[in-house]
Every structure is written in C-alpha cells, then in structure tokens.
C-alpha cells in the first residue's frame, strides 16, 4: 500500500503535533506537505522532508488524499473552497468559520460541485454523537460553557480594563448564541460552532464564555435536556504548550479523525 498523501494548511501548534504523529506512523505511513501563505514565518519550522506549498496549484500537483486545515478562519475562507472544488476531502479544525452563512453555503457548493467533502473534527469537545442524536428533539435545550484561565484571554481582559495577572474571580466575557460567540472569538469558540452544527444550529445553541483564574485548564461544559433525557459533560483540557488559546487534545482529535477517514471500519 502506498503512503497516504496529506496536505496540512498551516504549521502552528496543532499542525506540528499532527505532523509529528503522522511522520512516526507505521506503514503505509504518510507523505506530508504544508500549505502556507507566501512568505509565512511558519515555513522555518516545517521539518526537513516535508514540502512547503505556496498555492492551490501546488496542492493539486501534490496529489493529496486528504487536506487538513489547522490554520484559522481566514484559511477556511481562502483555501478550503478551492481544495473542495479540486475534489479533495478537507478536514477542518476552524469550524467557527462556518458561523458565516455565506461561507458555509460556498463550501457546501464547492464540495458538491467538485465532489470534495468537508469533514468536521470534534476538536476540543466530545459527546457530539449524543448531541447529533437529540438534534431534532422537540424539547431540546442545549447549553455550552467555556471556562478558561486568564492566559487564554489576556488581550480580551486588557480590553475590558482587567489585568490578567490580578484577576480576583471569574469574569463572564460573553453570553449569547453560538453564532455570535464563533464570530466574536475565532480562535477560542470553534467548539461552540461544532456543538451548534452537531445539534440544533447556531441560533438555538446557547453559549457562556467565562474567564476564571481558578480554571485548571480549558474547561468545556455541555448540558442538554430533551424528551429523551438529560446529558451533561465536562472536559478539562490542558492548553497546548505552544499556544495557550488552543487545547492540546485538538491535534489528537484530528489524528483520530484521520484514522477514521482511512479506516475500513468507521464509528459514527
């Protein structure tokens, strides 16, 4: 069997963890390339033996079996539609970009037209299988709370006049819909978007964002109640050592999705 050919979009904290694991995977293994914006400083971190691509023509020429986006909302807008139009399956981590209905529609159209497929990783969250199962429940109430330490919200706290190092207690930064949350916090609220898309949609998914000096990590609480029963889930993720805004587990979630993508047995 030939090595699977994978293009990573971006080479930051998450992509580097993914690349390390895929490069160490046993046979047939993976041949990797990285798509970056021309002149990106991330190119210097890409390991030897992994090609750096600087445009969609190079992605097409690489002959990818799978594209993985770990770059941010802008990359979903800039590069993912063309990859889908090339007929490629594209696994995205920046699911929050889909809060924009026009972008979402464009991606779906590109996937349909090019016979590509947009794949959504569960990322920092779990339990999306349950949320999917109750998404049409008549009495569904779905709530999500993000609770992170001040390091993850330094800029936002400064903007509100708080010193992140001196925060005495929890500060609620936001309460509203998943659509507003994903739009306002592109790096932090991808999880709210994943939940909304698995569940009843962006408007019907309620979100609270809390900054808490006592938070032991990036904590996600999901509560659902419906005629089918109740569900509650709490996940405390460690921040990525290279980017406190991202949870360390995200790369592992994407790697699990890559496994599923190439596996003859799929758990849905």
Ligand X SMILES: NC(=O)c1ccc[n+]([C@@H]2O[C@H](COP(=O)([O-])OP(=O)(O)OC[C@H]3O[C@@H](n4cnc5c(N)ncnc54)[C@H](O)[C@@H]3O)[C@@H](O)[C@H]2O)c1
Q: Tell me if residue 136 is catalytic.
A: no
Pairing of strands 51-53, 229-237: unpaired
Q: Given candidates 3, 12, 106, 184, which one binds ligand X under the rule CB under 6 A? A: 12
Q: Given candidates 72, 89, 164, 200, which one binds ligand X under the rule CB under 6 A? A: 72
Asked whether position 205 contacts ligand X by CB under 6 A, the answer is no
Count of residues touching ligand X (by CB under 6 A) = 34
Asked whether position 13 contacts ligand X by CB under 6 A, the answer is yes
- Long-range CB contacts for residues 127-133, cutoff 8 Å, separation at least 24: 127/222, 127/231, 127/233, 128/194, 128/195, 128/198, 129/268, 130/224, 130/231, 131/195, 131/198, 131/199, 131/222, 131/224, 131/231, 132/198, 132/199, 133/228
Asked whether position 195 contacts ligand X by CB under 6 A, the answer is no
Using CB positions, name the residue nearest to ligand X. 12
Asked whether position 15 contacts ligand X by CB under 6 A, the answer is yes
**Strand residue runs (E) in 84-197:** 89-92, 117-120, 141-148, 171-177
Smallest CA-to-CA distance from 74 within 103, 112, 109, 45 is with 103
Residue 41 DSSP symbol:
G
How is residue 109 written in tokens?
């159209």
| Shortest Å distance, C-beta 116 to ligand X | 18
| Shortest Å distance, C-beta 103 to ligand X | 13
When the beta carbons of 31 and 92 are compared against ligand X, the nearer one is 92
When the beta carbons of 10 and 81 are compared against ligand X, the nearer one is 10
When the beta carbons of 173 and 191 are compared against ligand X, the nearer one is 191
**Phi and psi angles of residue 18, each rounded to the nearest 5 degrees, phi first:** -65, -45
Asked whether position 10 contacts ligand X by CB under 6 A, the answer is yes
CB 218 within 8 A of CB 152: yes
Asked whether position 254 contacts ligand X by CB under 6 A, the answer is no
Q: With CB under 6 A as the contact rule, which of the stretches 33-41, 101-109, 151-159, 256-264 interacts with ligand X?
A: 33-41
Residues between 90 and 149 that touch ligand X (CB under 6 A): 93-95, 121, 123-124
| Shortest Å distance, C-beta 105 to ligand X | 20
Asked whether position 187 contacts ligand X by CB under 6 A, the answer is yes
Quote helix, strand, coil % in the chain, to nearest 5.
Answer: 40, 30, 35
**Phi and psi angles of residue 76, each rounded to the nearest 5 degrees, phi first:** -65, -40
By the criterion CB under 6 A, which residues form the site for ligand X? 9-15, 35-37, 40, 42, 70-72, 74-75, 78-79, 93-95, 121, 123-124, 187, 190-191, 194, 240, 243, 246-247, 250
Which residue numbers are catalytic? 220
């Amino acid at each position: 069997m030939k090595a699977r050919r994978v293009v990573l979009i971006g080479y930051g904290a998450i992509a580097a963890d993914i690349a390390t694991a895929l490069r160490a995977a046993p046979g047939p293994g993976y041949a990797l390339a990285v798509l970056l914006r021309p002149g990106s400083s991330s190119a210097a971190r890409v390991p030897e033996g992994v090609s750096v691509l600087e445009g969609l023509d190079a992605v097409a020429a690489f002959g990818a079996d799978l594209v993985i986006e770990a770059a941010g909302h802008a990359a979903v807008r800039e590069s993912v539609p063309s990859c889908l139009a090339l007929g490629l399956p594209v696994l995205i981590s920046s699911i929050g970009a889909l809060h924009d209905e026009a972008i979402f529609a464009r991606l779906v159209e590109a996937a349909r037209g090019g016979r590509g497929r947009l794949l959504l990783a569960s990322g920092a969250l779990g339990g999306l299988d349950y949320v999917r199962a109750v998404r049409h429940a008549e009495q569904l109430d779905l709530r999500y709370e993000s609770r992170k330490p001040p390091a993850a919200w330094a800029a936002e706290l400064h903007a509100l006049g708080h010193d992140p190092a001196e925060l005495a207690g929890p500060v609620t930064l936001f309460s509203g819909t998943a659509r507003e949350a994903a739009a306002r916090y592109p790096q932090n609220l991808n999880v709210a978007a994943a939940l909304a898309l698995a569940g009843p949609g962006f408007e019907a998914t309620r979100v609270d964002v809390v900054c808490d000096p006592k938070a032991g990590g990036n904590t996600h609480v999901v509560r659902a109640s419906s005629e089918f029963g109740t569900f509650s889930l709490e996940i405390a993720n460690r921040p990525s050592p290279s980017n406190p805004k991202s949870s360390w587990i995200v790369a592992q979630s994407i790697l699990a999705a890559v496994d599923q993508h190439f596996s003859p047995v799929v758990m849905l």
